[in-house]
Amino acid sequence: MKTLSQSPLDPAFVQNPYPFYEQARAAGPFFRWSDYNMVCTPNAAACNAIFRDRRFGRETPAELAPIIPAHLAPFYAVEAHSMLELEPPRHTRLRSLVLRAFTSRRINALQPEIEALSHQLIDALPEGPFDLLTHFGQKLPVIIIARLLGVPEAMSDDLLRWSNAMVGMYMAGRDRAREDRAIAATESFVAFMRSYIEARRQDPRDDLITSLIAAEEAGEKLSTDELITTCILLLNAGHEATVHTIGNGVKTLLETGHRATASNAETCIEEILRFDPALHMFTRWAYEDIEVMGHTFHRGDQVALLLAAANRDPGVWDESDQFQPNRPVKPNVTFGAGLHFCVGAPLARLELQTALPILFQRLPKLRLTEPPHYGDVYHFHGLTRLLVQAD
Ligand code: HEM
């Protein structure tokens, strides 16, 4: 297996990781990324196979569980109840309870609200050049997920701040200052959710938190700690990636001279999700000895699935480096696959398919006023700002 080195903190790489992915692809289905000391795959078939293989999972094998430094305990206490960090049977229990409340009926009912909110945000845009991320991209998903959960909208700014600080824990090269910010945010978030869940227990409403409290399957219910973690997971996962998909998508459309419209919404949004996803790297642990496409993994090995690379696998997509908004839809791995497939994918798709056509219909002259710049972090792939002008 080839070893490749590429600092995930190198500015040229974070601005455009795709040439590295292409180089990696030439090395075969797997390569060792020396900076992570990890076997990685840019190959679509390998990503799909590993995502769907129950002999791989997200939960750390017991014998490898890291010792958590005391100052990080509050963060990992929340993660301990996260379906995203667990495997069956706990994952099955949490996910099925959440899916009882997070139904497609409840999501589809949000469409008129997403439409109205998109118009309101566009009505409120300032004159002259403005940052589409702060005025539109960041607002829409956080307000929608807050409304869905039933959290007061006035809390949106706090949620955004806490969530941004917490995801710092997943970034390459995090330092003590970033950790301290993440822990402070975790503590505030948990305290808020605990009191809010208590309030909904006393005073049930027609919202997702109330449904989560009531959700019951085979006599099982979510405990208060599980409810807190689930709400935090939905709020965090629920907007960060969607915000950056809006940003990356509008950037790509403006750079390539395309538009999202009511008639191309489905293919165009799928192509945005495929072409420049907001999250690039997810890892799995091997739980036994497993051979995948010629490489043998042993129990305790980790493998990184490079989603954005897999989405440009020329074995799956013709002219995979081209953005083609009418490309016939084929499954990509932007939302993962298998057991942990993104719970929020239908909501994210609905938001994108609703909001972007409205944006381009309302602002037909929308154009970039400066070259967009991605944040200097990996594996999150999102813009720091998206300066545009509407006339
Ligand atoms: C474009 C936006 C989004 C992207 C790119 C995205 C991506 C992903 C990916 C790749 C995974 C699987 C991770 C893995 O298998 O290791 C995942 C899981 C998850 N996502 Fe999303 N997501 C998005 C939006 C959302 C939204 C809007 C929500 C909630 C409202 C959400 C909630 C979740 C949850 C709860 C999981 C864990 C599922 C499980 O472990 O069974 N996501 N997401």
What average pLDDT score do residues 362-379 get? 94
The predicted pLDDT at position 95 comes to 96
pLDDT band at 154 (very low <50, low <70, confident <90, very high): confident
Query: Residue 156: is its pLDDT beyond 90?
Result: no
Query: Residue 28: is its pLDDT beyond 80?
Result: yes
The predicted pLDDT at position 218 comes to 76
Find the 345 Cα to ligand 1 centroid distance in Å: 7
Closest CA to 304 of 8, 32, 39, 122: 39
Phi first, then psi: what are they for 104, rounded to 5°?
Answer: -65, -30
State pLDDT tens for residues 317-333.
999 999 999 999 999 99
Contacts of 17 (CB under 8 A, 6+ apart): 280, 308, 309, 378, 381
Query: Residue 238: is its pLDDT beyond 80?
Result: no
Closest CA to 172 of 44, 283, 61: 283
Cβ atoms < 10 Å from Cβ of 313: 19
Ligand 1 nearest atom to the CA of residue 245, by list position: 1
Contacts of 26 (CB under 8 A, 6+ apart): none
The secondary structure of 177-196 as a DSSP string is: HHHHHHHHHHHHHHHHHHHH
What average pLDDT score do residues 368-383 get? 93
Which DSSP category does 380 fall into? B
Ligand 1 lined by 348 (C-beta under 6 Å)? yes
What average pLDDT score do residues 127-139 get? 95
Question: In the chain, pLDDT over 90 holds for what percent of residues?
Answer: 86
State pLDDT tens for residues 31-53.
999 999 999 999 999 999 999 99
The token pair at 38 is 């990890």
What average pLDDT score do residues 187-199 get? 95
pLDDT band at 131 (very low <50, low <70, confident <90, very high): very high
Ligand 1 lined by 347 (C-beta under 6 Å)? yes
What average pLDDT score do residues 242-254 get? 97
Ligand 1 lined by 284 (C-beta under 6 Å)? no
Do residues 236 and 167 lie in contact, with contact meaning Cβ atoms separated by under 8 Å? Answer: yes
Which residue's CA is the closest to the ligand 1 atom numbered 42? 344
What average pLDDT score do residues 244-251 get? 98
Query: Residue 157: is its pLDDT beyond 90?
Result: no
Do residues 149 and 208 lie in contact, with contact meaning Cβ atoms separated by under 8 Å? Answer: yes
Find the 342 Cα to ligand 1 centroid distance in Å: 4
The residue to mutate among 159, 335, 356, having the most atoms of ligand 1 within 8 angstroms of its beta carbon, is 335
What average pLDDT score do residues 143-160 get? 88
Query: Residue 311: is its pLDDT beyond 90?
Result: yes
Q: Is 109 helix (H, G, I), strand (E, B) or coil?
A: coil
Ligand 1 lined by 121 (C-beta under 6 Å)? no
Find the 279 Cα to ligand 1 centroid distance in Å: 10
Angle between helix axes 224-256 and 345-362 (nearest 10 degrees) is: 40
266-304 in b/e form (b: 16+ CB < 10 A) is ebbbbbbbbbbbbbbbbebbbbeebebeebebeeebbbb
The residue to mutate among 170, 280, 342, 349, having the most atoms of ligand 1 within 8 angstroms of its beta carbon, is 342
The token pair at 19 is 């040439």
Among 80-84, 162-166, 242-246, 271-275, the range scoring the smallest mean pLDDT is 162-166
Which residue's CA is the closest to the ligand 1 atom numbered 17? 342
Ligand 1 lined by 334 (C-beta under 6 Å)? yes
Do residues 39 and 30 lie in contact, with contact meaning Cβ atoms separated by under 8 Å? Answer: yes
Which residue's CA is the closest to the ligand 1 atom numbered 19? 342
Which residue's CA is the closest to the ligand 1 atom numbered 43? 342
What average pLDDT score do residues 250-265 get? 98
Ligand 1 lined by 379 (C-beta under 6 Å)? no
The secondary structure of 270-315 as a DSSP string is: HHHHHHS-SB-EEEEEESS-EEETTEEE-TT-EEEEEHHHHTT-TT
What average pLDDT score do residues 145-157 get? 88
Sheet containing 302-306: which strands, arranged edge to edge? 3-4, 31-33, 38-41, 302-306, 281-286, 56-57
Query: Residue 219: is its pLDDT beyond 90?
Result: no
Angle between helix axes 111-123 and 139-149 (nearest 10 degrees) is: 140
The predicted pLDDT at position 16 comes to 97
Do residues 333 and 310 lie in contact, with contact meaning Cβ atoms separated by under 8 Å? Answer: yes
Find the 44 Cα to ligand 1 centroid distance in Å: 18
The token pair at 293 is 């496409």
Do residues 375 and 11 lie in contact, with contact meaning Cβ atoms separated by under 8 Å? Answer: no
Computed over every residue of the chain, the mean pLDDT equals: 95
Question: What is the CA 10 to chain-centroid distance, rounded?
Answer: 22
Ligand 1 lined by 6 (C-beta under 6 Å)? no
pLDDT band at 174 (very low <50, low <70, confident <90, very high): confident
The H-or-E segment that residue 214 falls in is: helix 208-214
Q: How far apart are the first and last CA of the chain?
A: 53
Find the 347 Cα to ligand 1 centroid distance in Å: 10
Do residues 86 and 94 lie in contact, with contact meaning Cβ atoms separated by under 8 Å? Answer: yes
Q: How far apart, in whole angstroms, are the C-alpha atoms of residue 24 and residue 47?
A: 14
Q: How far apart, in whole angstroms, are the C-alpha atoms of residue 313 and residue 336?
A: 15
Ligand 1 lined by 303 (C-beta under 6 Å)? no
Ligand 1 nearest atom to the CA of residue 233, by list position: 35
Query: Residue 172: is its pLDDT beyond 80?
Result: no
Ligand 1 nearest atom to the CA of residue 333, by list position: 10
The predicted pLDDT at position 127 comes to 92
The H-or-E segment that residue 148 falls in is: helix 139-149
pLDDT band at 159 (very low <50, low <70, confident <90, very high): confident
The predicted pLDDT at position 192 comes to 95
What average pLDDT score do residues 14-27 get? 97
Closest CA to 17 of 37, 33, 38: 33
Ligand 1 nearest atom to the CA of residue 277, by list position: 5
Q: How far apart, in whole angstroms, are the C-alpha atoms of residue 372 and residue 84?
A: 31
Query: Residue 249: is its pLDDT beyond 90?
Result: yes
State pLDDT tens for residues 335-368.
999 999 999 999 999 999 999 999 999 999 999 9
Ligand 1 lined by 311 (C-beta under 6 Å)? no
The predicted pLDDT at position 236 comes to 84
Which residue's CA is the closest to the ligand 1 atom numbered 32? 344
Query: Residue 290: is its pLDDT beyond 80?
Result: yes
Ligand 1 lined by 247 (C-beta under 6 Å)? no
